[in-house]
Amino acid sequence: MSCRKAAVVNMSSIIGSIENIQAIQKYLTAVPYRISKAALNMLNVCAAFEFQKEEILFTVLHPGWVRTAMGTAYAPIDREESIQGVLQVINSMSEKHHGLLTDYKGQTINW
């Protein structure tokens, strides 16, 4: 499997990570948004199992905390850094990314 074949890349967020809830909760409650991202993450894992035999890559990317209207001025990275990182990760994707949540730097995030 490689990205030269079919791939589904969903944009999610680390705030949908259940494992990281304590670290994130003190900075952002946004429960409905967090639930939607956790659901997207679960959908990705389920689809990764479901379509593995068809060699369709399913993965999720966290673009980082980006300075935007939603991300606020406190966010540590700008749009350009996020986009460049996301594109680099997408270009380097392989079967090792199947079913994973990865950030814009290419680091795996625990669910």
Look at residue 2 and tell me if it is in a domain: no
Which pLDDT belongs to residue 96?
92
Report yes or no on 1 lying in a domain.
no
> 48: domain CATH number?
3.40.50.720
User: How confident is residue 41, by pLDDT bands cut at 50, 70 and 90?
Assistant: very high
**Mean of the per-residue pLDDT values for the chain?**
89
Cα R_g (the chain), whole angstroms: 14
Q: Residue 93 domain-assigned?
A: yes
| Any domain includes 86 | yes
Give the predicted TM-score (pTM) of the model.
Answer: 0.84
Number of domains in the chain: 1
- Which parts of 6-111 fold into alpha helices (H)? 21-25, 31-50, 79-91
Handedness of CA 41, 44, 49, 50 (dihedral sign): positive
Q: Kindly tell me if the per-residue pLDDT of 47 is higher than 90.
A: yes
Angstrom distance (rounded) from CA 96 to CA 59? 10
Q: How confident is the model at residue 1 (pLDDT cuts 50, 70, 90)?
A: very low
| Residue 31 structural domain | 7-109
What is the distance between the alpha carbons of residues 24 and 91, in angstroms, rounded to a whole number? 29
Please tell me the predicted confidence (pLDDT) of residue 77: 94
